[in-house]
Amino acid sequence: MLNRRIAAHLLMLMTAACLVAGCSDDSTAPDDNDPAPAAHLWSARFGDADTQMGYAIAVDAAGNMIVAGVFEGAIDLGGGPLTCVSDIDVFIAKFGPDGAHLWSRRFGGTGSQSFPAIAVDDAGQVFLAGMLHGAVDFGGGVLVDAGDGDAFVAKFTPNGAHIWSRRFGDANQQYVSAVGVDDSGRVIITGLLSGTADFGGGPLTSAGDKDIFVAKFDANGAHLWSRRMGDTNLQVPTSIAVDHSGQVAIAGAFIGSVDFGGGALTSAGDYDIFLAKLGSAGEHLWSRRFGDAGTQVTVVTAVDELGNVILAGGFDGSMDFDGGALVSAGNTDIFVAKFGSGGDYLWRARYGDADYQSAEAVTVDALGNVIITGAMRGSADFGGGLLTSAGQEDLFVARMGSDGAPVWSRRFGDTAIQSGYGVAVDASENVCVTGLFLGSIDFGGVVLTSAGSLDACVVKLAP
């Protein structure tokens, strides 16, 4: 079974069940009096009788939370209703450390916008990237896609004002699936390329179905370098992370062969995982493949203060990261693996039972602790005791030490559907999560109840 984040990239979010945003919110105030581990600090719900989704979250140096998602209809994130003008629009909102609304914006055209990815630099400037359809104005003039959806990246001030925005693509489909920023404010994007796109260094053309692209721009949006990887089969990049030296880790799933510069990696059957690290100038440093004839789907990667790389996601079958084979218990299990800055194996772990569990997002705090979030159906033990879903799928958050040892794990949800899709940490190691839920969810404050269909949620937990 494909991990849902990969499935979303393959099926394109807008062809799934319609997303309709809400325009009401419930929130609970922070409780910062020496809280216990994973204690509730703040949470909020956004939605009405229709559906909306929190997709990505980042935290700036001041502890402000920036959240991005998709919606249709109208959604009020605290600054008044935002109304969708296309099939699906993107929202971005900034909240203070206490959850207070600072600003929120909507972007859309005549079609569907999707896959919003966000990053924030050391100055608090915000990068938003994804796919646009139709005509979209991020504040610097209308960008119009050339056909079946184009990639975009836009930069905003800490107050949400437009700095620059760019579009890339031809009549085929291109989109950004992940965005990162280095210590100098240079932005790196990765995504899917079908057809031809010119990021500023000359046209890149896919070899067949869909290929990987990686492109880097300076703080003003000028092209620095761009690369394409892939063969006539399907390669799907899903995550990017940038370390303090400017080296770039990218991860995803692929069928066929892909060469990042160190020789071809070839899948064993169905989707395999790739993990590659590129230098600050785009040169190959190392690359690896993981998987068997089953389906292995990576979701996310992160880097710590030392440049070590963490990989997480869901898999079905067997994978060996060099520490011995991990074998899924049944449907899809969670995996987490850590590698040194040079690609050497450090540790790995598997969590789950014969049902469905998958990590959808991962981050690392300043101490090297690893935090994952996602969805679980059935049971999983992250080392602190068995967690069992209440019904369909529940949202989970788990924290482990830099050595993989369990710190804490929590499950949230009722008999309906709940899932985490984005996770970030602030300078105090507080954990911030965004996602979606149907029914009721209690993060430890007041119970949040969806107004009808899926609602977006944001929660802040103590370290």
> pLDDT under 70 in the chain at which residues?
1-34, 298
In 194-343, DSSP assigns E strands to 196-198, 203-205, 211-217, 223-229, 235-242, 248-254, 257-259, 264-266, 272-278, 284-290, 295-303, 309-316, 318-320, 325-327, 333-339
User: d(Cα 376, Cα 396) in Å, to the nearest integer?
Assistant: 7
DSSP assignment letter at 219 = T
Query: Residue 396: which domain range?
Result: 4-461
| Token pair recorded at residue 181 | 């920023």
Give the Cβ contact number of residue 377 at 10 Å: 21
Token pair belonging to 171:
């009549």
pLDDT of residue 277: 99
- Mention every residue, 6+ apart, whose C-beta is less than 8 A from residue 304: 310, 364, 368, 402
**C-alpha–C-alpha distance, residues 444 and 434, integer Å:** 15
Number of domains observed in the structure of the chain: 1
In this structure, what CATH number is given to the domain that contains residue 197?
Answer: 2.120.10.30
Cα–Cα dist 402/410, whole Å: 19
* Per-residue confidence (pLDDT) for residue 453, from 0 to 100: 86
Largest Cα span, the chain: 57
Cα torsion 37, 38, 41, 43 to 10°: value is: 180
220, 133, 213: which is closest to 177 by C-alpha?
213
Q: CB neighbours of 202 closer than 8 A, spacing ≥ 6?
A: none
pLDDT for residue 15: 37
Residue 70 pairs in a beta bridge with: 53, 90
Instruction: Tell me the DSSP string of 153-192.
Output: EEEE-TTS-EEEEEEE--SS-EEEEEEEE-TTS-EEEEEE
Token pair, residue 122, equals 């050391």
Gap between the Cα atoms of 448 and 368, Å rounded: 32
**pLDDT score recorded for residue 13:** 35
Q: What pLDDT, on a 0 to 100 scale, did the predictor assign at position 23? A: 37
Q: Which distant-in-sequence residues (6+ apart) come within 8 Å of 34 by Cβ?
A: none
| pLDDT score at 22 | 37
Q: Give exposure, 13-42, as e/b (b: 16+ Cβ within 10 Å).
A: bbeeeebbbbbebbbbebeeeebeebbbbb
Q: Give the DSSP letter of residue 63.
A: -
Dist. CA 162–CA 167, nearest whole Å? 15
Q: pLDDT digits over 384-417, tens only?
A: 999 999 999 999 999 999 999 999 999 999 999 9
Assess contact for 339 and 345: CB atoms under 8 A. Answer: yes
Are 16 and 7 contacting, i.e. CB atoms less than 8 angstroms apart?
no
